[in-house]
Amino acid sequence: MNIAELHRREYGRILASLIRAVKDITLAEDALQEAFAAALEQWPLDGAPTNPVGWLMRTARNKAVDQIRRNVMAEDKRDEIAASISSGDNTPEPTDELRLIFTCCHPSLAPDARVALTLRTICGLTTEEIARAFVVPVPTLAQRLVRAKSKIKLAGIPYEVPADEQLGARLESVLAVVYLVFNEGYAASFGSDMVRADLCAEAIRLNRELVSLLPNESEARSLLALMLFNDARRTTRTDANGEIVLLEHQDRSRWDRAKISEGTELLEQALSSGVAGTYAVQAAIAALHAQAPSIDDTDWPQIAALYGVLLRINPSPVIELNRAVAIAMTEGYERGLELMETIELPGYHLLPASRADLLRRLGRHADAAIAYHEALALVSNEAERRFLERRLSEVIAAI
Question: Comparing C-alpha atoms, which of 256, 313, 244 is closest to residue 290?
Answer: 256
- How many residues in the shown chain lie near other proteins by CB under 8 A? 19
Say how far apart CA 221 and CA 54 lie, in whole Å: 31
| Pattern 188-227, other proteins, x by CB under 8 A | ----------------------------------------
User: Residue 106 corresponds to which amino acid?
Assistant: H
The verdict on 314 binding other proteins (CB under 8 A) reads: no
User: Residue 244 corresponds to which amino acid?
Assistant: I
Say how far apart CA 333 and CA 361 lie, in whole Å: 8
Beta bridge partner(s), residue 175? none
CB contact at 8 A, 279 and 223: yes
Say how far apart CA 227 and CA 232 lie, in whole Å: 8
Longest Cα–Cα distance in the chain: 85
**Helix (H, G, I), strand (E, B), or coil: what is residue 207?**
helix
Among 108, 126, 140, 143, the residue binding other proteins under the rule CB under 8 A is 108
DSSP for 338-366 reads HHHHT---TT-THHHHHHHHHHHHTT-HH
**Helix (H, G, I), strand (E, B), or coil: what is residue 65?**
helix
- Identify which of residues 49 and 162 has a Cβ nearer to other proteins in the complex: 162
The verdict on 243 binding other proteins (CB under 8 A) reads: no
Cβ at position 159, least distance to other proteins in Å: 9
The verdict on 172 binding other proteins (CB under 8 A) reads: no
CB contact at 8 A, 329 and 339: no
The verdict on 147 binding other proteins (CB under 8 A) reads: yes
Cβ at position 111, least distance to other proteins in Å: 8
Question: Comparing C-alpha atoms, which of 252, 289, 295 is closest to residue 267?
Answer: 289
| Pattern 320-359, other proteins, x by CB under 8 A | ----------------------------------------
The verdict on 366 binding other proteins (CB under 8 A) reads: no
Among 99, 106, 360, 391, the residue binding other proteins under the rule CB under 8 A is 106
- Identify which of residues 54 and 107 has a Cβ nearer to other proteins in the complex: 107
**Helix (H, G, I), strand (E, B), or coil: what is residue 244?**
strand
Cβ at position 300, least distance to other proteins in Å: 31
- Identify which of residues 84 and 143 has a Cβ nearer to other proteins in the complex: 143
The verdict on 155 binding other proteins (CB under 8 A) reads: yes
Among 21, 113, 321, 371, the residue binding other proteins under the rule CB under 8 A is 113
The verdict on 151 binding other proteins (CB under 8 A) reads: yes
Which residues make up the interface to other proteins (CB under 8 A)? 106-111, 113, 147, 150-151, 154-158, 160, 162-163, 166
